[in-house]
């Protein structure tokens, strides 16, 4: 072998051994699995990916000099892809759980959140709820039944008084019945104004019976209205997780919120996405929605006039982190960069941009 060629081979070998390990890694293109979870992963008006997690990853990849490509997957495909190693890292709003930790590794958490409750928006509180209860089918049926009873008593009095007391209950049948209906109403509520009174013996007997019956009717009517308003307010009285039992709650299947509701044995219905679940609450098809607070706050801003009230209570604390296949050689470097970015002032600016806090 010529001497010059021998020196070239030796130099090439020495160069390859002295090359930093991370430089070799940087030559690979990482497959970054993502699934749309606004405001952590979403697209802008031009279809480009953005969000809290996306911006964080771009900063980390730039600092590491790492090439990458986004691979859009469903949520289940994302988890399976990380576990199988088909993707090198999962970027999104992935909650750290013991079950997932057994399937793959997590970097350091970058966001702390928890579950919150969304209920139908009520701008005027209990007063508006009570006012709405007066316009229900049950209340209308009660008023209608009372009106029919007043009409029955009025017609009965008119039949016995129309000839003997034409000054007060005479005229055409409509006029006479109208006068007797008025008398029945004021007698039941105020024991009469004194403007109309029966003069015949049968008419006075009817009046006597109706006076005592009116006392009972007023008491029963008041109790019915009070009961209706109380039940209506209690049905929507949700101020925290302890008030959820006995209500129907919306959530998303295979999430931490669904697991919480199942463990607490709270009746719930699952929806394909958060927007659909929140819209079901706004239409009052269900009583409340339970989900990650940050995601609900973001979606709530997009509901406009159909927005919900997000209760201040936060429970079942959760941590979001990037997920990597078990034993990934990239975990240490990425975890270190996560800490560096989240401890910088720019991180609060990023959160302010997307969450408005």
- CA-atom Rg of the chain in angstroms: 36
Mean pLDDT of 280-308: 90
Give the residue among 288, 321, 329, 353 at the shortest CA–CA distance from 110.
321
pLDDT tens profile 191-204: 666 677 888 888 88
Global pTM value = 0.56
The CATH number corresponding to 3-110+321-355 among 3.60.20.10, 3.30.1300.10, 3.40.190.10, 1.10.287.3510 equals 3.40.190.10
Mean pLDDT of 284-291: 94
Q: Are 139 and 133 in contact (CB under 8 A)?
A: yes
In this prediction, residue 8 carries a pLDDT of 39
- The CA-CA-CA angle for residues 33, 35, 352, to 5°, reads 105
pLDDT tens profile 307-352: 999 998 899 888 999 999 999 999 999 999 999 999 999 999 999 8
Pairing of strands 315-320, 89-91: unpaired
Q: Are 206 and 153 in contact (CB under 8 A)?
A: yes
Specify whether domain 238-316 bears CATH 3.40.190.10: yes
pLDDT tens profile 152-194: 988 888 888 888 888 888 888 888 888 888 888 888 877 666 6
pLDDT tens profile 101-155: 999 999 999 999 899 999 998 755 455 555 565 666 767 787 888 888 888 988 8
pLDDT tens profile 35-67: 998 899 999 888 899 999 999 999 999 999 999
pLDDT tens profile 79-95: 999 999 999 999 998 98
The proportion of the chain whose per-residue pLDDT surpasses 90, expressed as a percent, equals: 43
Q: Are 91 and 107 in contact (CB under 8 A)?
A: no
Q: What is the mean pLDDT of the chain?
A: 83
Q: Is 31 helix (H, G, I), strand (E, B) or coil?
A: strand
Mean pLDDT of 222-234: 62
Higher pLDDT, 266 or 233: 266
Residue 29 pLDDT greater than 60, yes or no: yes
In this prediction, residue 2 carries a pLDDT of 53
Distance CA 303, CA 104 (A): 36
Classify residue 307 by its DSSP letter: P
Residue 207 pLDDT greater than 70, yes or no: yes
Q: Are 239 and 311 in contact (CB under 8 A)?
A: yes
Q: Are 105 and 327 in contact (CB under 8 A)?
A: yes
Residue 100 pLDDT greater than 60, yes or no: yes
Mean pLDDT of 1-15: 45
Same CATH fold assignment for domains 128-235 and 238-316: no
In this prediction, residue 334 carries a pLDDT of 96
The CATH number corresponding to 128-235 among 1.10.10.10, 1.10.287.70, 1.20.950.20, 3.90.650.10 equals 1.10.287.70
Query: In the chain, what are the domain boundaries?
Result: 3-110+321-355, 128-235, 238-316
Note the helical H segments in 291-330: 293-301
């Amino acid at each position: 072998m010529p001497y010059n060629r021998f020196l070239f081979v030796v130099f090439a070998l020495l160069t390859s051994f002295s090359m930093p390990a991370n430089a070799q890694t940087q030559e690979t293109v990482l497959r970054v699995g993502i699934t749309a979870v606004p405001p952590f992963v979403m697209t802008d008006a031009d279809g480009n990916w953005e969000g809290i997690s996306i911006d964080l990853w771009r900063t980390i990849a730039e600092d590491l000099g790492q090439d990458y490509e986004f691979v859009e997957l469903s949520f289940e495909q994302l988890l399976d892809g990380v576990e199988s190693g088909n993707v090198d890292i999962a970027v999104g709003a992935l909650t750290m759980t013991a079950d997932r930790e057994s399937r793959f590794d997590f970097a350091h958490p970058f966001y702390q959140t928890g579950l919150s409750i969304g209920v139908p928006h009520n701008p005027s509180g209990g007063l508006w709820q009570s006012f709405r209860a007066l316009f229900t089918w049950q209340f209308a049926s009660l008023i209608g039944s009372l009106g029919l009873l007043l009409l029955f008593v009025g017609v009965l009095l008119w039949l016995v008084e129309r000839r003997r007391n034409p000054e007060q209950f005479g005229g055409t049948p409509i006029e006479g019945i109208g006068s007797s209906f008025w008398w029945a109403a004021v007698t039941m509520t105020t024991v009469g104004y004194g403007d109309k009174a029966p003069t015949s013996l049968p008419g006075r007997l009817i009046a006597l019976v109706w006076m005592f019956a009116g006392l009972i009717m007023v008491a029963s009517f008041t109790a019915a209205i009070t009961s209706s308003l109380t039940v209506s307010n209690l049905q929507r009285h949700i101020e925290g997780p302890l008030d959820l039992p006995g209500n129907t709650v919306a959530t998303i299947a295979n999430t931490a919120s669904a697991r919480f509701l199942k463990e607490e044995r709270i009746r719930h219905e699952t929806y394909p996405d958060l927007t659909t679940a929140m819209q079901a609450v706004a239409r009052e098809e269900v009583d409340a929605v339970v989900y990650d607070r940050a995601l609900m706050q973001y979606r709530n801003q997009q509901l406009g006039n159909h927005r919900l009230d997000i209760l201040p209570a936060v429970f079942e604390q959760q941590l979001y982190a990037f997920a990597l296949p078990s034993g990934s050689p990239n975990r240490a470097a990425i975890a270190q960069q996560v800490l560096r970015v989240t401890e910088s002032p720019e991180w609060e600016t990023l959160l302010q941009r997307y969450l408005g806090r």
